[in-house]
Chain A
Amino acid sequence: MSMLIAQSRAEMIRMIRNVYFVFWSLLMPVLFYILYTRIFTTDAVDAKEWNAHYLMSMTCFSVMGSSIMTLGIRLVQERAHGWVTYLRVTPLPNSIYFGGKMIGQTFIHLCSIIVIFTSGYLINGVSLTFSQWVSSALWILAGSLPFLALGTCIGTLRRVDTASGLSNALYLSLALLGGMWMPLNVMPDWLAQIGRWLPSYSFGNGAWSIIGGGVPQLRDILLLGGYLAVFMLLSTYIRSRQKEA
């Protein structure tokens, strides 16, 4: 147990000190939030609802980014730099190595949620009920799982450059097509159709349902669960293949 605590603690410290992470996961979403709720505003939409909706979008965007990019790229880096080789000759079990990473990530996601929710409140005075704040935060924490699994898939790549390029491309297209930057209904119909099947849409949609006064739909839960299973299988499969080689 002390092993897991020490490992998680180290992972948390590393994330907080990482400027790259702070920029992508905290600063970017907050900047986007300011941009799309204070600067480019249209009268057509209900401002109050839009501010809350877009706050959820940006929080999901942040957490998804840290799950795919930070986790994936760091896994590749640690292997490329020989750190993983070193750990394999120590008694540290692989499960604790990954466990520490997941706990570290979740802690960081919680920080992201708190920071972005707070800035929503401060910038636009977004007001939700206490249970809406809490349940949307919990939804975002739980909904990050398939993206963490996707991050571990990225983490099987050999080169940091490839991992960084691929995770960037995946992250940005998932965000765009999942309706995190702009609602799907302003996109061409065929694009929106594709978007509705992406995990990013279901991730955001759950949070949007909560702030709209509802609960996440079963379809979104099932889709996210399905993606989680697929990404976990894929990651496990690649890792077992690499071990044989």
Chain B
Amino acid sequence: MNSHNNVIQLDNVSKQFGKKQAVRQVSLQIAQGSITAILGPNGAGKTTTIKMMLGLTSPSSGEIKILGLPPGHKQVQQRIGVMMQDVSVMDFLTVREIIRMVHSYYPSPLDTAALEKLTGLSPADLNRRAEKLSGGQKRSLNFALAMTGNPDILFFDEPTVGLDSETRRQFWSQIRTLAQQGKTVVFTTHYLHEADEVADRIILFNEGAIAADGTPEQIKNGMTKRTLSFTYIPPLNGGSRESAHTENDETAAAANQAMIEKLSGVDQVLYRQNRCILQSQDTDALIRQIITMQLPVRDIRIETGQLDDAYASMLNNVKEEQ
């Protein structure tokens, strides 16, 4: 990956909507021919970031370059294809008529026959009014429209929402073929498995900032830490679990805290009810330390987090914060 084949470049891009900071200090480069998934929960800033790349909204600060030009530049528009969320098609026109109209917008478009084929629609459906198509068919038409200008970069915002699994599979197989032809694909999704299966890079967004960026493998490793958890043996006889704020409990908590701090190789400590959960890359080493130090703990469990669980818990955290 050198800077020559980066087709998308964001430098310190932020976007503020009133008091809400939708995107914070995002910097990234996207290489030509790659399939990049922008993954994150709703409200993470994915769509806003895509919209800024498309020139639909301008960043409050920072700079964006698409193919070396500012977004929204005519030469950029001629070389990108876009499929947005919730875009209906122009009414009172047949599929063929819409394709012919959009065809006229581009300097070197694919020919209309190829585009009609891309929609996957039958000749009868091609002559139907586009607004009368089913949701999935409209999506196929939008895909064909995105391809009209034979674009170098394709942007898809939540492309597979509402599609059945077969259509979804076909869609992604088309996308892979396009990437093999050297086209760059950027899509947003909140399905982790989709990003994992299709993309060769995942940029994870959370609260408007990049939370992680890497290959699906790297992201998965980063998200599925092993955890070791245990409950404390009450250090003092009087320390009842029901009364939460007695002096004894506070002393006990402080003692526990001190114990845990002595352990090495702990990445993160979480407390859930009476359990203390330690995240670590090496839970075997942790258990050895706990035994050697004779920590007053019981019911020790070691778990490998499921990827989906880890992602779901991240989504939940975000929702709680909102």
Closest to B75 in A: A91
B90: which A residues are within 8 A, CB to CB?
10, 14, 78, 83
B93: which A residues are within 8 A, CB to CB?
10, 13-14
Given A6-B101, A13-B97, CB of A83 within 8 Å of CB of B87: yes
A-B contact pairs, 6 of them (CB 8 A): A7-B101, A13-B92, A15-B92, A77-B91, A89-B54, A90-B102
Once bound together, how far apart are the Cα atoms of A17 and B82, in whole Å?
28
* B56 CB–A CB distance under 8 Å: yes
Given A89-B82, A90-B102, A92-B105, CB of A17 within 8 Å of CB of B54: no
* Top 3 A-B residue pairs of the complex, sorted by shortest distance between their CB atoms: A6-B104, A14-B92, A82-B87
* B224 CB–A CB distance under 8 Å: no
A82: which B residues are within 8 A, CB to CB?
84, 86-88
A85 and B105: CB pair below 8 A?
Answer: no
Other contacts beyond A10-B93, A90-B77, A90-B105: 10, CB < 8 A: A5-B104, A9-B101, A10-B97, A78-B90, A85-B56, A85-B84, A86-B145, A89-B80, A89-B84, A90-B102
CB-contact partner of B149 in A78, A81, A91, under 8 A: A91
Given A13-B93, A14-B92, CB of A85 within 8 Å of CB of B87: yes
* A18 CB–B CB distance under 8 Å: yes
Interface string of B77-121 (1 = CB under 8 A from A): 110101010111111110001101111111100000000000000
Range, interface on chain A: 20 to 34
* A219 CB–B CB distance under 8 Å: no
Once bound together, how far apart are the Cα atoms of A134 and B84, in whole Å?
47
The SS class assigned to the A binding surface is: helix
Once bound together, how far apart are the Cα atoms of A78 and B249, in whole Å?
64
Once bound together, how far apart are the Cα atoms of A10 and B103, in whole Å?
12
* B136 CB–A CB distance under 8 Å: no
Once bound together, how far apart are the Cα atoms of A1 and B143, in whole Å?
26
B105 and A86: CB pair below 8 A?
Answer: no
Once bound together, how far apart are the Cα atoms of A10 and B97, in whole Å?
7
A3: which B residues are within 8 A, CB to CB?
104-105
B91 and A2: CB pair below 8 A?
Answer: no
A89 and B91: CB pair below 8 A?
Answer: no
A88: which B residues are within 8 A, CB to CB?
55-56, 72
Interface string of A170-211 (1 = CB under 8 A from B): 000000000000000000000000000000000000000000
Interface string of B247-291 (1 = CB under 8 A from A): 000000000000000000000000000000000000000000000
A13: which B residues are within 8 A, CB to CB?
92-93, 97
CB-contact partner of B77 in A2, A5, A6, A91, under 8 A: A91
Once bound together, how far apart are the Cα atoms of A115 and B299, in whole Å?
88
A9: which B residues are within 8 A, CB to CB?
101
Within 8 A of B (CB), among A46-93: 77-78, 81-83, 85-86, 88-92
Closest to A19 in B: B92
A18 and B88: CB pair below 8 A?
Answer: no
B72: which A residues are within 8 A, CB to CB?
88
* B20 CB–A CB distance under 8 Å: no
Once bound together, how far apart are the Cα atoms of A180 and B301, in whole Å?
85
* B74 CB–A CB distance under 8 Å: yes
Once bound together, how far apart are the Cα atoms of A3 and B77, in whole Å?
15
Q: How far is the CB of A77 from chain B (nearest CB, A)?
A: 8
Please indicate which of the listed interface residues A9, A10, A83 has the most CB atoms of chain B within 10 Å of its own CB. Answer: A10
B104 and A18: CB pair below 8 A?
Answer: no
Once bound together, how far apart are the Cα atoms of A15 and B93, in whole Å?
10
Q: How far is the CB of A171 from chain B (nearest CB, A)?
A: 21
Q: How far is the CB of B85 from chain A (nearest CB, A)?
A: 8
Once bound together, how far apart are the Cα atoms of A92 and B104, in whole Å?
9
B89: which A residues are within 8 A, CB to CB?
83
Closest to B89 in A: A83
A14 and B91: CB pair below 8 A?
Answer: yes
Once bound together, how far apart are the Cα atoms of A202 and B149, in whole Å?
47
Within 8 A of A (CB), among B42-74: 54-56, 72, 74
Given A13-B92, A91-B74, CB of A86 within 8 Å of CB of B87: yes
Given A18-B92, A89-B80, CB of A10 within 8 Å of CB of B101: yes
Please indicate which of the listed interface residues A85, A88, A91, A92 has the most CB atoms of chain B within 10 Å of its own CB. Answer: A91
A91 and B97: CB pair below 8 A?
Answer: no
Once bound together, how far apart are the Cα atoms of A14 and B297, in whole Å?
75
A2: which B residues are within 8 A, CB to CB?
104
Q: How far is the CB of B44 from chain A (nearest CB, A)?
A: 20
Once bound together, how far apart are the Cα atoms of A77 and B102, in whole Å?
19
Once bound together, how far apart are the Cα atoms of A20 and B11, in whole Å?
49
Once bound together, how far apart are the Cα atoms of A78 and B90, in whole Å?
7
A86 and B84: CB pair below 8 A?
Answer: yes
Q: How far is the CB of B51 from chain A (nearest CB, A)?
A: 9
Once bound together, how far apart are the Cα atoms of A14 and B90, in whole Å?
9
Interface string of A94-138 (1 = CB under 8 A from B): 000000000000000000000000000000000000000000000
